[in-house]
A and B are shown apart, each in its own frame.
Chain A
Amino acid sequence: MITVNHYLLLSAILFAIGTFGVLTRKNAIVIFMCIEVMLNSVNLTFIALSRHVGNMDGQIFVFFVMTVAAAEAAVGLALMIAFFRNKESIDTDDFNMLKW
């Protein structure tokens, strides 16, 4: 029998993998995709707990997380294109223009 704890543990594992990817990779697009993995693990937590509690609110939150992820994708990728146009690279080591 699959309980809610299985889903929570799975999403914790996915979140940890996403954290590792965000902290180790240099390519900004790969970092972005790791953030998507983290967002999706949180979505899984929301839906599992929503079904466990017997309430629809968690699934509506998933909706808004998806909205924010779509907006973030549009703006973030536009930022990367603008950055690539200036520096010919999207390596995060080159993102140091604001460094003091």
Chain B
Amino acid sequence: MRLECNGLKYTYPESEVAVIDNLCFSMAGPGFNAVFGPSGVGKTSLAKLLVSQKDRPDSRILAPGMETILYSYNQERLPGWSSTGSHLDRVCPAGKKKLKQDLIEIFRLAPVLEARFAQLSMGQQNRMNLIRYLLQEFDLLIMDESLANVDEALRETIILAVKAFFPGKMFLYISHNLMEVAKFCKEILVLSEPVKQKGSFMVKGRDYCQGYTLDKKSFDATMLEIMDAF
């Protein structure tokens, strides 16, 4: 299982500036990885390209061992004609009911299963959306700001649970939260702004799992390494 880009370049139609220019990186094996960078640097564009261009013969994206790549983002909505609980029931594959129940508990969504999606808070909406993706079959799940509007403590709980429940999968966590990516991610693809001309580079994260002990010195060093890109 590997995710690799070799000189990926992309320019939006009617734009003269490439949003992604000569991007090269490689992420090996399952793991909770991240894409980090300031707004507008191309994180979401990269995510969409990973999904759309993976199987093209001339693609600069290689994903051996990964059949299914799913992309979820924080503005998705569930249909409003039924409760969120019944929607989850409908999209939950056979044999994953236990997983569903566990995720609902961990994500603290049990009290809102009878509610319609529009009645949930933004944080609850994002968590509900993430659960339904986690229930599907995938090799790589791209989580684009999927935990926005969720408090820090619960975000930590969720990320640790995801890592524990899906050890054999690869995740690409798109986030602006430096501490979070530094703490919990295995590999971090840091994208810098084109004007800074620092390109992109990989940083090894601390990859903490459940029951971890924070090593402050190495944690700070990781964050510094990431910050160096800006």
A and B part of one assembly: no
B-side residues, CB < 8 A to A, are none
Question: CB within 8 Å of B: which residues of A?
Answer: none
